[in-house]
Structure 1
Amino acid sequence: MGPDHEPDDGPTGSSPAPGPEEPYVYTLQSTRRATSPKICRDFVACVLNSVGHEDLVDTATACTSELATNAYLHAEGDSLMLRVMIEQPRLRISVYDASTELPTGAYLPAGDRMYGRGLGVVAALADEWGTADGDPTGMYAKGVWFELRTRGTA
């Protein structure tokens, strides 16, 4: 970008959070590998820190990690897509993959089992969660999403 096209970051160097009429959407396509959950977590943290939603980073990255881990462990295909949408008064994060199989449930198993807690953690931390048929581009079979309320909402 030339000098006539540089973004205006305001006096503090950070962009304001979106208003109610302007959603922010950020998308990351990733190879489906063991590193995908960390890359997705880091992407979500970067987006939220950049748009003034630092208060949501811990919860959003924990839930994102669970969804991306499930996509890595249980999905089909060689890639996944992460979509972060901030549309006041909510933040919605979706992880899309090539599998048509929907999640089996969200519960926290008794005892100290190492596996099977992912969606239970998401259900406990998020305000809402669910599944979606495919993604907006039509490249993936299903998505799993969660929502968090943004600052200043009940």
Structure 2
Amino acid sequence: MESDYESDDRPPRRPPVPSKDPYVYTLQSNRNATSAKVCRDFVAVVLGSVGQEGLVEVATLCTSELATNAFLHAEGDSLTLRVMIEPPRFRVLVYDASAQLPTAGRLAAPDRLHGRGLGLVAALADAWGTADADPAGMYAKGIWFELHAEQKG
């Protein structure tokens, strides 16, 4: 079978030039009982694809907490997970349709059976917080955490 290109017509192969822009990966998920697993797996794959396997355990635990909170406490039928890699920062943000922000009181109650997930995120992440509505206007708020990427070298 003949190719549409003769060997002399092909452009020369060049390695891709690394982007100076942050890498952003987005996943939209139904807000249901499987959301946390889907979001966890997505974050693990993204981290593995950029050589940050050392962050997977903490990142997937924190992601699971954010996605579980969106499933249990938010409104609407979907959530959006945004993963941004801007070395040395790695940030995960979960948007949902509930405008209600988490309160510090819920984070400080170690004797409660529920409501300690954000306390885990606060303890494990390098930073965490809330975000305003997503840029597309589909969601009322976001909750995010940030880890510092491993330095290669």
State the match for 2:59 in structure 1. Answer: 60
* Inter-partner Cα distance in structure 1 for 2:43 and 2:88: 17
- 1:114 maps to what in 2? 113
Extract unaligned runs of 5+ from structure 2. 1-9
In structure 2, the partner of 1:135 is: 134
Contact 1:44 1:84 in 2 (8 A): yes
TM-score when normalising by structure 1: 0.82
Alignment RMSD: 2.2
Q: Secondary structure in 2 aligned to 1:100?
A: coil
Per-residue deviation at 1:108?
A: 5.2
Question: d(CA) in 2 for partners of 1:102 and 1:108?
Answer: 15
CA distance in 1 between counterparts of 2:131 and 2:45 reads 25
The answer to whether the 8 Å contact 1:29/1:79 transfers is: yes
Distance in 2 between residues matched to 1:60 and 1:108, nearest whole Å:
22
The Cα shift of 1:36 comes to 0.3
CA distance in 2, matches of 1:67, 1:147: 12
What's the TM-score, normalizing by structure 2?
A: 0.83
The aligned residue for residue 32 of structure 2 is: 33
| 8 Å CA contact retained: 2:110, 2:116 | no
Partner of 1:87: 86
Deviation at 1:53, TM superposition (A): 0.7
Q: Which residue of structure 1 lines up, in the alignment, with residue 6 of structure 2?
A: none
Contact 1:66 1:119 in 2 (8 A): yes
In the TM superposition, residue 67 of structure 1 has moved relative to its aligned partner by 0.3
Q: Secondary structure at the match of 2:101?
A: coil
TM-superposition CA deviations, 1:49-101 (whole Å, max 9, x none)? 11111011000000000000000000000000000000011011000000110
Q: Which residue matches 2:73?
A: 74
Alignment-mate amino acid for residue 91 of structure 1: F
Flag the 1:110–1:148 CA change in 2: closer, same or farther, 3 A.
Answer: same
